[in-house]
Amino acid sequence: MLLYFIRALFLSVIIAFLFVSINYHQSRSELPPDSETYLRLAAEMEKKGDMTGALEATRKAVEVKKDSSSTEDYMAIFIIGVSIAVLVIAVEWLTPKKSLNALAGIFFGILVGALISWALSPVIEMINDIWNLGWAEDTVRISKWLMAICICYLTVSMVIQTKDDVRFVIPYVEFSRQTKGLRPLVLDTSVIIDGRIADIAQTRLFDAPLIVPRFILNELQLIADSSDKMKRNRGRRGLDILNKLQTSAIVEVEVDDTPPPGLDAKAEVDHKLVAFTKNCDGRLITNDYNLNKVAQLRGVDVININDMANALKTVVLPGETMQVRIIKAGEEPRQGIGYLDDGTMVVVEEGREQIGATIQLTVTSALQTSAGRMIFGKFDKGSSSSRNGGSYRNRNQNDRSNS
């Protein structure tokens, strides 16, 4: 609403300025007498023999006639002024996403072009003198203006196209980007479809805003419209999760239309996501292992939801005992596979014969990866198995109460 008020105020000021200027010039042009009055006065003075007064009146008549002949068309000035004001507002209206980097690049390009044009201006005069071209002064002036316009266009175009290399700086000096406030969190397609990000956001863990680039939203829509049923369900789940995040009052979610710098629109989504995150100095949230590694190589901070979930799992040490339900056979002979309440896989030696039973085992080792955690243990044949045994969490609580 404030922006509309500023636009209306700008247009009102322009129109008021034009009205005041036109009225002022018209009032000044109406004050002195016209040329016919001075000519009649000069004729009367000549009849009276006052030749000096007649010449003075004639001179004033010529000046007034010259001024009246060069009087500007005030209505045309008013129309041109209002048209320029409306054009400026239209350009501002049609460019909702403004880039300070682009504005700085244009200013820097015009400044460099003006300096180069000023340095090359004597060259045109030198060419005119050496080759005896016989150009008039107006022709030389027009040639200088054309050269300045062309050079400014070339410098602005060069700076805009190479902004990632030039970085809009004074020659050979690069300023690092300074981010004020919290660094935004950029969401990947995989983490949106996964869905756990919505539950984590409800815990008020994230203070920074969640950014969803426009190309990520387009990829979600493309997956949701896929002919494959599995992909279509995953895409629709991702859109539902994103809608849940946007309607939440706890976390702030923004859809950013800014294109990633230095990349074509047809570039891979992973490359655009890394470039976008680096440009906004944010942190990337993803579940993709390969994207995680690529982003780290590019110097982008990454938050892996799998790593976060693994960090919150219960830590077990070799030699501890725990209970788990064996649900299937393992790959190796006499191995059984079970799962804890948090989804951690437990591989039990000598556990194949205990499928369907809850057994007590001794932990031998644990393996931690970005894909998850695996616990290896050995079945204690001396302990009795139970079809309805307690969980590892209950055992821990009992140990703490006994201690």
278: domain CATH number is 3.40.50.1010
Same domain as 358, residue 244: no
Whether the pTM exceeds 0.85: the reply is: no
Same domain as 152, residue 84: no
What residues does 386 pair with on adjacent strands? 358
Per the domain annotation, does 171 fall within a domain? no
Same domain as 387, residue 270: no
Distance, in Å, from the CA atom of 179 to the CA atom of 283, rounded to the nearest integer, reads 12
| Predicted pLDDT of residue 397 | 44
| Predicted pLDDT of residue 107 | 81
Same domain as 277, residue 198: yes
Same domain as 274, residue 192: yes
Per the domain annotation, does 172 fall within a domain? no
Domain boundary among 115, 136, 166: 166
Same domain as 285, residue 210: yes
The percent of residues in the chain predicted with pLDDT above 70, rounded, is 70
| Predicted pLDDT of residue 376 | 92
Per the domain annotation, does 34 fall within a domain? yes
For residue 67 the two structure tokens come to 């001024």
Q: Which helix (H) or strand (E) holds 333?
A: none
For residue 231 the two structure tokens come to 């992909």
Distance, in Å, from the CA atom of 30 to the CA atom of 226, rounded to the nearest integer, reads 76
Distances (CA, A) of 263 to 66, 109, 209, 266: 60, 22, 25, 8
Same domain as 330, residue 298: no
Per the domain annotation, does 147 fall within a domain? yes
Low pLDDT (below 70) residues in the chain: 1-7, 10, 17-18, 21-39, 41-42, 50, 54, 57, 60-78, 81, 91-92, 94-102, 160-181, 369-372, 382-403
| Predicted pLDDT of residue 340 | 85
Per the domain annotation, does 201 fall within a domain? yes
Same domain as 13, residue 117: no
Residue found by looking up tokens 């000035």 in the block: 77
Reduced to 3 states (helix: H, G, I; strand: E, B; else coil), residue 328 is: strand
Give the range of the structural domain holding residue 197, as residue numbers without chain letter: 185-310
Per the domain annotation, does 174 fall within a domain? no
| Predicted pLDDT of residue 387 | 43
| Predicted pLDDT of residue 84 | 76
Same domain as 299, residue 341: no
| Predicted pLDDT of residue 175 | 41
Tell which residue, 285, 306, 216, has the closest CA to residue 224.
Answer: 216
Per the domain annotation, does 13 fall within a domain? yes
Report the domain count for the chain: 4
Per the domain annotation, does 199 fall within a domain? yes
Same domain as 144, residue 233: no
Tell me the Ramachandran region of residue 325: left when phi exceeds 0, alpha when psi lies from -120 to 50, beta otherwise: beta
| Predicted pLDDT of residue 153 | 81
Q: How many CA atoms lie within 13 A of 164 on its CB side?
A: 9
Same domain as 199, residue 301: yes
Same domain as 301, residue 195: yes
Query: What are the residues whose beta carbons fall under 8 Å from the beta carbon of 230, sequence distance 6 or more?
Result: none
Domain boundary among 310, 327, 360: 310
Domain boundary among 74, 94, 114: 94
